[in-house]
Structure 1
Amino acid sequence: MLKKIISNVIAPFAICLLIALALYPTTLDYEKYSTHGLELDFNVPKEIAMVEKKSQPEDEQVFTPYLGKSFEAFKEALAFKESQGDYFTVNTFGYLGKYQFGKETLKMIGIYNPNYFLNTPELQEKAFIANAKRNKWILRKDISRFAGKRISGVEVTESGILAAAHLAGAGSVKKFLRSYGSNNFADGYGTTVKYYMKRFAGYDTSFVKADKRAKARI
């Protein structure tokens, strides 16, 4: 009885298998699947390697592209501190966008429509550069005089000066530098010129050209 069951079940299956093997090619053209000549030995460039932000608590650590000390890194680091990179945010003091511009500062760089500014990321990027150019012109003598020195325990760099000017205005940075740290302006949230000077030190801001009349246009 068992032999009969096996014969009835296994035999048809074996026949189908033999037919399939007969129809399927017995050889493959492996040249079609060769990796010969392909560049397989590569590494991710350092510039885009993913690095961990160790400064944050472990449960809040995030991963971001490593940009080194480039101007782009400077710009994005400052934006993250200002607004976490949100183009469309307005803070409790009415400062606008990714870089948290005040309306009076916007007027100085040729922007008179805050609502349009807030909803136009491209204009916000232009505004950041225009404001940096203007501040660099205002502070050009202070940059030349103080860059490389230490004031109140902080190494003074051009990028630190420009970041502090973005926070507090060029006038407040002049007062900090020329008082050798005793005049340390703080904004409405308690963030000081000295803090920005230290946090954003050492970036390459040579891209920014001093321009007294810099305007933001798209």
Structure 2
Amino acid sequence: MIKNSVKNYLLPFSICLVAALALYPNSSLNTDLYSTDGLDLNYNIKSDLAMAEGVDLAKLDVFTPHLGKSFEGFKEALAFKESRGDYFTVNTLGYLGKYQFGAETLKLIGIYNPNHFLYNPELQEKAFMANASRNKWILRKDIKRFEGKFIAGVKVTESGILAAAHLAGPGTVKKFLRSYGGYNLSDAYGSTVKYYMKKFSGYDTTIIKPNKKAKARI
């Protein structure tokens, strides 16, 4: 039984070897080229990966970037809340792009062609920075005065102030802070200054420099 099994295994192998030598009579078979000696081989893989069919990819350990409380984290979290990060969207009120800018706000930072703005992601990123810099200049005294304090149960941080200013404008944020939460305006979709102040609290926004005349240019 064993002898027959060995014979059945060696016969096809011998036929293939003879065929290869016949096709390439002048070549010599250098087995060193195919040696695994010295290689660090590791065949220990997860059982669920070994059985590819029916694998639930959502359960696998897939790498995803973690932005945390960095400035990029701030931008992307705010963008996701505004538009789910879509550069080319326009909401029912006509607000544009990834960060949902209105036409009047765009004019303040030097953008007069909303259609060009909508289809230019680089310009949208520049607009976000310019608007944040302008808002930070307007709110610089309030940031210094209120940062670290609690208003209406929310800890005031610079990033929370800037996010709320993006939502409702710096003037509205001033009223919220100086009324100690008594003036809590909401937008057309129900998001309030207080909600943004809390949701976007504690991010690192030191990269944003206050600039009264900030413009978006590429």
CA separation of 1:207/1:33 partners in 2, compared to 1, >3 Å: closer, same or farther?
farther
CA separation of 1:92/1:33 partners in 2, compared to 1, >3 Å: closer, same or farther?
farther
Q: Which residue of 1 aligns with 2:66?
A: 66
1:28 aligns with 2:32: yes
Q: Which residue of 2 aligns with 1:19?
A: 18
Q: Which residue of 2 aligns with 1:46?
A: none
How do 1:105-144 residues align onto structure 2 when only pairs under 5 Å count?
Answer: 105-144=105-144
CA separation of 1:212/1:26 partners in 2, compared to 1, >3 Å: closer, same or farther?
closer
CA separation of 1:180/1:13 partners in 2, compared to 1, >3 Å: closer, same or farther?
closer
1:25, distance to aligned residue in structure 2 (A): 3.5
1:93 aligns with 2:97: no
- What is the CA–CA distance in structure 1 between the aligned matches of 2:77 and 2:124, rounded to whole Å? 15
Higher alpha-carbon deviation: 18-27 or 74-83: 18-27
1:31, distance to aligned residue in structure 2 (A): 7.8
Matching residue's letter, 1:151: I
Q: Which residue of 2 aligns with 1:52?
A: none
Q: TM-score, normalised by structure 2?
A: 0.77
The one-character-per-residue Cα deviations of 1:157-215 (angstroms, maximum 9, x if unpaired) are: 00000000000000000000000001001001110000000000000000000000000
1:28, distance to aligned residue in structure 2 (A): 1.8
Say how many residue pairs are matched: 186
CA separation of 1:146/1:25 partners in 2, compared to 1, >3 Å: closer, same or farther?
same
Matching residue's letter, 2:116: Y
- What is the CA–CA distance in structure 2 between the aligned matches of 1:116 and 1:168, rounded to whole Å? 24
- What is the CA–CA distance in structure 1 between the aligned matches of 2:36 and 2:206, rounded to whole Å? 51
Provide the identity percentage. 69
CA separation of 1:133/1:33 partners in 2, compared to 1, >3 Å: closer, same or farther?
farther
Q: TM-score, normalised by structure 1?
A: 0.77
CA separation of 1:35/1:108 partners in 2, compared to 1, >3 Å: closer, same or farther?
farther
Q: Which residue of 2 aligns with 1:48?
A: none
Gaps of 5+ in 2: 1-7, 22-26, 43-57
CA separation of 1:33/1:207 partners in 2, compared to 1, >3 Å: closer, same or farther?
farther
How do 1:1-218 residues align onto structure 2 when only pairs under 5 Å count?
Answer: 16=15, 19=18, 25=29, 27-29=31-33, 34-35=38-39, 65-218=65-218
